[in-house]
Amino acid sequence: MTTGTAIRTVEVLVSSPDRNFVTLRLTTEDGVVGLGDATLNGRELSVASYLKDHVAPLLVGRDAHRIEDTWQYLYRGAYWRRGPVTMAAIAAVDVALWDIKAKVAGLPLYQLLGGASRLGALAYGHASGRDLPELFDSIRHHLGQGFKAIRVQTSVPGLNAVYGVAAQRTSTGARYDYEPAQRTVVPAEEDWDTRSYLRHVPTVFEAVRNEFGPELPLLHDGHHRMTPIQAAKLGKALEPYDLFWLEDCTPAENQEALRLVRQHTTTPLAIGEVFNTVWDYQTIIREQLIDYVRSAVTHTGGITALRKILDFAAQYQIKSGIHGPTDISPVGMAAALHLDLAIHNFGIQEYMQHGARTNEVFQQSFTFTDGLLHPGEQPGLGVTYDDDAAAAYEYQPAYLPVNRLQDGTVHDW
């Protein structure tokens, strides 16, 4: 090792511009800076502590170039494997090391991952509405912004607040950007009824197809709420509307549940935003029970680990659909975009746009043109962190909602 690439400082930065973010900043003896995203929505400080208390002391003096070795050292070395907190912490280190390596090479990160396989990454945006007119407005708004694929979520008659519908929270003024975490000291509660949902959703997709025609790729997120047989029923009911994918139809910790869903429907399935290692995918990839891998770089141990999952998936013609909500920081999004550009089995990239305050803290070089995202040509990830801007936005407790059935039973959110 040349001493210049030894890690000199490790900083864990917590800021809350539009929402909470945990960012890892590594600096080498030569002064090269690498950023990693360690944000775990609603549990941010646990990852910050994991990094500060248990990882930072192990990194100082290590050669920043040894990415694979550092990954294995942190994963195997902890003895306690997997889990969202551990894997978000490892991801932050991994992405920061890739950022450093690419900067030392003087290349945008995607060049180190094999170079560009496409012009850019097809992105989908989040349209939503309480009723059809509001939903149609939101779809038109996204089409106007250049989106070529749209996720569709709506309210369900009889329910007060449903996952994915921005307009339910008009007080924030965030008309089109659905932001589930709320800055409250205890989680907000939402209500749920699967039968009402199953009756309503196909009527919404029928209306959207009638209005916008057969070409537009449409996606939908079931957000872990159905049993396998309910998911099978929904997939079947949505077949006439030719979805790009149905996401998280079941909680999917039980990978075998997908066998039942798969037997009944040809609607493509996407799963994995809450998964954190390849082991969560072992059965569903090998048995070809899904079509898209939904993991975020940030929650799956970084570029090193997600690349391996996607290479495994590629053997079964399963494609990527990397998670990209606003709780993935611009650093985590940039990492996703470099991977999207380089891999062969790219499917689609989720793109919820960050707010103005977030963009002030994280300066970015990505572009969004004709529906395609591109990470830009700056060496490394192409993201810088502005400490002065961040200083104005201190951490605020925030939680994802909790879901209850109408009789009060806690349900998957």
- Site residues (vs Co ion, CB under 5 A): 221, 273
State the DSSP code for 399.
B
Say which entry of Co ion, ligand EZ4, none residue 327 contacts (CB below 5 to 8 A, set by partner kind): ligand EZ4
Write the CA distances from 91 to 12, 95, 126, 199, 295, integer angstroms.
13, 6, 26, 40, 12
Q: Is residue 221 involved in binding ligand EZ4 (CB under 6 A)?
A: yes
Site mask for ligand EZ4 (CB under 6 A), range 149-188, x = bound: -------------------------------x--------
Q: Are 395 and 44 in contact (CB under 8 A)?
A: yes
To ligand EZ4, the closest distance from the beta carbon of 207 in angstroms equals 22
Structure tokens at 404: 């209850």
Q: Is residue 190 involved in binding ligand EZ4 (CB under 6 A)?
A: no
N residues, the chain = 413
Which of 15, 39, 41, 265 contacts ligand EZ4 by CB under 6 A? Answer: 41
Q: Is residue 325 involved in binding ligand EZ4 (CB under 6 A)?
A: yes
Q: Where are the alpha helices (DSSP H) in 106-213?
A: 109-112, 132-144, 194-212
- The number of residues that bind ligand EZ4 (CB under 6 A) is 9
* Dihedral sign, Cα of residue 188, residue 151, residue 382, residue 367: negative
Q: Is residue 44 involved in binding ligand EZ4 (CB under 6 A)?
A: no
Q: For residues 182 and 387, what is the distance between their CA atoms, to the nearest angstrom?
A: 24
Which of 273, 280, 291, 340 contacts ligand EZ4 by CB under 6 A? Answer: 273
Output 154 or 304, the one with its CB closest to Co ion.
Answer: 154
Q: For residues 404 and 413, what is the distance between their CA atoms, to the nearest angstrom?
A: 8
Output 153 or 378, the one with its CB closest to ligand EZ4.
Answer: 153
To ligand EZ4, the closest distance from the beta carbon of 19 in angstroms equals 10
Measured between its terminal Cα atoms, the distance across the chain in Å is 48
Q: Is residue 389 involved in binding ligand EZ4 (CB under 6 A)?
A: no
Q: Are 22 and 13 in contact (CB under 8 A)?
A: yes
Say which entry of ligand EZ4, Co ion, none residue 37 contacts (CB below 5 to 8 A, set by partner kind): none
Say which entry of Co ion, ligand EZ4, none residue 41 contacts (CB below 5 to 8 A, set by partner kind): ligand EZ4
To ligand EZ4, the closest distance from the beta carbon of 221 in angstroms equals 5
What is the enclosing helix (H) or strand (E) of 192? strand 189-192
Task: Tell me the three state secondary structure of residue 232.
Answer: helix
Q: Is residue 347 involved in binding ligand EZ4 (CB under 6 A)?
A: no
Beta-bridge partner residues of 349: 123, 322
SS3 content of the chain, % helix, strand, coil (to 5): 40, 20, 40
Question: Which one from 163, 197, 292, 351 is the annotated catalytic residue?
Answer: 163
Output 273 or 291, the one with its CB closest to ligand EZ4.
Answer: 273
Say which entry of Co ion, ligand EZ4, none residue 134 contacts (CB below 5 to 8 A, set by partner kind): none
Output 112 or 400, the one with its CB closest to ligand EZ4.
Answer: 400
What would the DSSP string read from start to end of 312-372? HHHTTT-EEEE---TTS-HHHHHHHHHHHHH-SS--EEE-PPPPHHHHHHEEE--EEETTE
Give 195: exposed, middle or buried? Use CB within 10 Å, 0-12, 13-18, 19+.
exposed
Cα 147 from chain centre: 18
Output 179 or 287, the one with its CB closest to ligand EZ4.
Answer: 179
To ligand EZ4, the closest distance from the beta carbon of 157 in angstroms equals 22
Q: Is residue 327 involved in binding ligand EZ4 (CB under 6 A)?
A: yes
Q: For residues 412 and 254, what is the distance between their CA atoms, to the nearest angstrom?
A: 14
To ligand EZ4, the closest distance from the beta carbon of 331 in angstroms equals 16
Q: Is residue 18 involved in binding ligand EZ4 (CB under 6 A)?
A: no
Give 394: exposed, middle or buried? Use CB within 10 Å, 0-12, 13-18, 19+.
exposed
Catalytic site includes residue 224: no
Output 252 or 305, the one with its CB closest to Co ion.
Answer: 252
Which of 400, 401, 404, 411 contacts ligand EZ4 by CB under 6 A? Answer: 400
Amino acid letter, 362: F
Beta-bridge partner residues of 410: 404
Catalytic site includes residue 223: yes
Question: Which one from 223, 224, 299, 374 is the annotated catalytic residue?
Answer: 223
Structure tokens at 380: 């490394």
Q: Is residue 255 involved in binding ligand EZ4 (CB under 6 A)?
A: no
Active centre residues (catalytic):
163, 223
Chain residues in the site for ligand EZ4 (CB under 6 A):
41, 180, 221, 223, 273, 325, 327, 350, 400
